[in-house]
Amino acid sequence: MKRILPIVFVLALSCSAWTQENNLSIDADFLTRGEIRSGGLPVSEEEGAVNKDFASFILERTLIGLNYEKKNFSSKVMAQHSGTWGSSEGGSFNVYEAWVRMSTDKGFFVKIGRQNLSYDDQRIFGADDWAMTARSHDVLKAGYEGHNQKIHLFAAFNQNTANINGGTYYSGGVQPYKAMEALWYHYDIPRTKIGVSLLFMNAAMQGGEKDEPNEKTYQQQLAGGFLSYHPKKLNAEAAYYHQMGKSEGGLPIDAWIMSYKATYDPSAQLSFTAGYDYLSGDADFATPYQGQIGMIQHKTIKGFSSLYGSHHKFYGAMDFFYVTTYVSGFTPGLQNLYAGMSFKPVEKVSLDAMYHYLATATKLRNAEKPLGHEIELSGSYKFMGNAKLSIGYSYMRGTETMVILKKTSDNRQLRWGWIMLNVSPKFFSGKW
């Protein structure tokens, strides 16, 4: 009898292992996009530089991922390559995601490794998938999901090398912050279509110089919330975030953003969208003309930083704001009033149009607030189940303020066109 019991115990463990389902898949994402742009690119003031304010190129990005999942455990490894057709530099190759996630039946989990952070509408944390090198973070994340609630805590600490006596200075790495801690809480109110999210983040930004013996780390905070309401045909969203702390230069930060967006779907084929974004800007913003430098003493940083969100998703598809910077390094903020529509004439085809009125948030010293009007047209066709062809064209009629802020020879006629093919095959999928 004593010999039989251990054998029964081993067999029971073996049976439980065999009854637990394991899932393994290998997939990829191939993206190729050709672009042609005219206007809006800053000119070089270096002696002998040739300035032609237009560009055309073809970009590519390849993602290959290995996914494994079983009860209370999952992991993912995804490699990423991106580059420009014909470039001798060879593009960039890195590991985009590499993480493991462990959970319990009660809803608690831990996730550690390189991972994408996407929350709410991706305004503060997002994948920024339009960019050829999608964003990820090396973090430890823990939390709870259940009973209409989600709470995530995550923390990161970055260093250039695993040195022993080289100090703790961090600069030029894959992330702009040296350390980061954040808390995100979401609650879906029962028997309603309302969701509420709260976010608090602290980021430690490296200041000083690498060879300075007294390097400093400045702490920056962000606090705010996101509200969504989703009845049958209406999708309404609102957000507010406030930034505090100190900048890398030691200046105090007092900046904020508010946004509103509403989408109405009268039918499955038609959708209307309207919204407004306001991002605070630096006071007394100087607008130097070409060849001049704006000199002004700032005592407080009032310009909101859009941090680690999906920037292309907001503020105009031409990416003139919060993707590229202004000439002085400060920002006059932004007002973005927009409206658009989406039409799906058949199942696999989508046609979209959007209009933006853009202006600065703060009063400028020697220019008016309006930046211009932007019109965006795009369409997509999904075929073969895992392939999509998209095309788009944007036009912006800029103002004299746009010319001054971007420091270009002409920002009144801005054009940008693109065509993109996205194919996402699944090479292997198995269960045992």
Do 401 and 364 form a contact (C-beta atoms < 8 A)? yes
Residue 222 pLDDT greater than 80, yes or no = yes
Percent of the chain whose pLDDT exceeds 90: 61
Domain boundaries, the chain: 87-161+174-423
Residues 6+ apart with CB under 8 A from 257: 123, 224, 239, 240, 241, 277, 278, 279, 280, 304, 306
Q: How many CB atoms lie within 10 A of CB 258?
A: 16
Rounded CA separation 241/229 (Å): 18
pLDDT of residue 53: 67
Q: Quick one: DSSP state of residue 251?
A: -
Class of the domain covering 87-161+174-423: mainly beta
**DSSP states along 260-305:** EEEEE-SSSSEEEEEEEEEE---TTB--PPTT-------SSB-SPP
> pLDDT tens digits for 265-306?
999 999 999 999 999 998 776 655 544 445 566 788 899 988
The H or E element spanning position 405 is helix 400-406
Model confidence band, residue 326 (pLDDT cutoffs 50, 70, 90): low
Highest mean pLDDT among 51-55, 73-77, 296-300: 73-77
Q: What is the mean pLDDT of residues 25-33?
A: 96
Q: What is the mean pLDDT of residues 18-27?
A: 85
Amino acid code (one letter) for 5: L
Q: What is the mean pLDDT of residues 367-386?
A: 92
pLDDT of residue 407: 64
Do 423 and 392 form a contact (C-beta atoms < 8 A)? no
End-to-end CA distance of the chain: 34
Residue 325 pLDDT greater than 70, yes or no = no
Model confidence band, residue 50 (pLDDT cutoffs 50, 70, 90): low
Rounded CA separation 74/86 (Å): 38
Top-confidence residue, 112 or 290: 112
Do 121 and 195 form a contact (C-beta atoms < 8 A)? no
Residue 213 pLDDT greater than 60, yes or no = no
Two tokens at 106? 């009660």
Residues 6+ apart with CB under 8 A from 72: 102, 103, 104, 105
Top-confidence residue, 241 or 308: 241
Strands 179-188 and 149-157 come out as antiparallel
Q: Quick one: DSSP state of residue 44?
A: P
Model confidence band, residue 150 (pLDDT cutoffs 50, 70, 90): very high
The H or E element spanning position 30 is strand 23-38
